[in-house]
Amino acid sequence: MLKTPEPTTFSRILSVGASRGSKAVTNDDIAGPIDSSDEWIRQRTGLITRARAAEGEEAVDFATAASLEAIEKAGISPDQIDAIIVATISNPVPTPSLSTLLSARIGAVGAAAYDISAACAGYTYAVAQADALIRAGLAKYVLAIGAEKLSEWIDPTDRSISFLLGDGAGAALIGPSDTPGISKSILGSDGSAWDKIYMTNTLFEYRDAKNTTSDSDTAEINWPTIRQEGQAVFRWAVWEMAKVAKEALEIAGVKPEELSAFIPHQANMRIIDEFAKQLKLPSNVVIAKDIETTGNTSAASIPLATHRLLEEHPELSGGLALQIGFGAGLVYGAQVVVLP
Amino acid sequence: MALSADQVLAGLAEIVTDETGIATDAVQLDKSFTDDLDIDSISMMTIVVAAEDKFGVKIPDDEVKNLVTVADAVNFITSAQG
């Protein structure tokens, strides 16, 4: 008879680690090219500074530091890790993956390793996969990581999204548990809105433009950078995602008043505030607002915000947190987790 | 029954006041949301969604940029009510 894996009943997040770009970029630093001011940026986005990579810092460096912290806190050795899942849009090469380089850096010899591309929802996808791998009996310990260096993809003159973006990585070490630690994840997409958050052009177009001598056809082709249709994304991120958040709570059998924390993707403080308002969260639910000094770090934002929340509010450990990621694709993911 | 333009204006003014704190009587037909009322794109979207709920109409993303003045919004909502 064919042998199949021994399933495990529950998984949970054992620990989290974080690493942010070491350069604090202020609003004044970036206001000039977008004809803006510190006051305007604070008022419209809630950002005071954003953490960006200093010279020589790469996404894999952030992922390494965050992973090593998570491993140490969990009290396991790196060679016990069975799988590494890195959610990223910042791997500088299409192949090999950032996760395999990371496995070598942290000493997770022989672990299954792969990257996933789900933009700002990437970490929630990674957590869902880690939970599934563990419960299916395919892995015991899994690292779920969001790692980004978005400063490679920004245009200083762009007023739509560039000024919000930051660099960093957050890692969660996920393992088996005797009690429920991760609810059924809600994952989904709306590909009809593929063009709402986008790159200005492809890398191939950029290459071809550089290789051509004619100026007229290629004047608009520059290094690709990220843009968004802010109003449309705002509406989707608040009102459509509020439905997803409510569904995630319902499936988890958790009432809003049973939550200790709400950890949405750190896209923009206005989105976070309006989202919390729409969910009618009781005042005792702590809302993660790491964006204020870190910026929007796409897949890294939820684990970074979780890490900061636990540093500032250690009493939240063991409580329930609703986490929801949403972004380019459009894609989204949500689950309720027990905080480590 | 569809509301009159005056009723839509009154309802819209209430929404603007709730979302932004701007005095209800400042919300006049000839006022521009951005230039006169200083409403930014994100606040505009909260107003749009609240107006959809209140008046039972759909205001597509692509339409929002055409709603420059309060009159534009009142006209759109009035005709969208059918």
B44 and A231 within 8 Å at the Cβ level: the answer is: yes
Portion 7-46 of A in contact with B at CB < 8 A:
44
On the question of a common fold for A10-177 and A186-193+226-338, the answer reads yes
In which residue are the tokens 């063009």 written?
A195
- Report chain B residues whose CB lies below 8 A from the CB of A234: 41-42, 45
The values of phi and psi at residue A49, to 5°, are -140, 165
A313 is annotated as an active-site residue: no
Given this model, what pLDDT does residue A44 score? 86
Name B47's Cβ contacts closer than 8 Å, sequence gap at least 6: B12, B15, B16, B19, B20, B33, B39
B64: closest chain A residue by CA: A231
Of B41, B46, B49, the CB nearest to A230: B41
In chain A, how long is the greatest CA-to-CA distance? Answer: 70
Q: Give the Å distances, CA to CA, from A97 to A16, A90, A92, A298.
A: 22, 11, 9, 18
A27 is annotated as an active-site residue: no
10-residue averages of pLDDT along chain A (340 residues): 92 98 96 92 92 97 98 97 98 97 97 97 98 97 98 94 96 97 98 95 92 68 93 91 96 96 95 90 95 96 98 97 97 98
Given this model, what pLDDT does residue A217 score? 59
- Rounded CA separation A60/A53 (Å): 11
- Rounded CA separation A130/A139 (Å): 8
**What is the fold of B5-80?**
1.10.1200
A243 touches chain B (CB under 8 A): no
A268 is annotated as an active-site residue: no
For the whole model, what pTM was predicted? 0.93
B42 and A230 within 8 Å at the Cβ level: the answer is: yes
Read off the amino acid at residue A213. T
Across residues B55-64, what is the average pLDDT?
Answer: 91
Read off the amino acid at residue A96. P
Given this model, what pLDDT does residue A157 score? 93
**Where exactly are the structural domains of chain B?**
5-80
Task: Examine residue A330 and say whether the peptide bond preceding it is cis (omega within 30 degrees of 0).
Answer: yes
Model confidence at B1, pLDDT cuts 50, 70, 90, reads low
Q: Number of CB pairs < 8 Å for A and B?
A: 26
Q: What angle do CA B70, B71, B74 make, to 5 degrees?
A: 90
The values of phi and psi at residue A268, to 5°, are -175, 135
In terms of C-beta density within 10 A (0-12 exposed, 13-18 middle, 19 or more buried), how is residue A169 classed? Answer: buried
pLDDT digits (tens, 9 = 90+) for B13-56: 999 999 888 999 989 999 999 999 889 888 899 999 999 999 99
Sheet holding A10-20, edge to edge: A10-20, A167-177, A142-149, A83-87, A112-116
- Report chain B residues whose CB lies below 8 A from the CB of A41: none
Chain B nearest CA to A285, separation (Å):
23
Chain B nearest CA to A193, separation (Å):
12
Q: What ipTM does this complex have?
A: 0.83
Stretch (H or E) spanning A105? helix A98-106
Given this model, what pLDDT does residue B3 score? 86
Ramachandran quadrant class, A278 (left: phi over 0; alpha: psi -120 to 50; beta: rest): alpha
Given this model, what pLDDT does residue A174 score? 98
Superfamily designation of domain A186-193+226-338: Thiolase/Chalcone synthase (3.40.47.10)
A239 and B46 within 8 Å at the Cβ level: the answer is: no
B61 and A231 within 8 Å at the Cβ level: the answer is: yes
A274 touches chain B (CB under 8 A): yes
Give the residue from B20, B61, B62 with the most A CB atoms within 10 Å of its CB, the best one to mutate.
B61
**Where exactly are the structural domains of chain A?**
10-177, 186-193+226-338
A274 and B46 within 8 Å at the Cβ level: the answer is: yes
- Rounded CA separation B67/B40 (Å): 13
- Domain at A10-177, CATH class: alpha beta
Q: How far is CA A312 from the centre of its chain?
A: 20
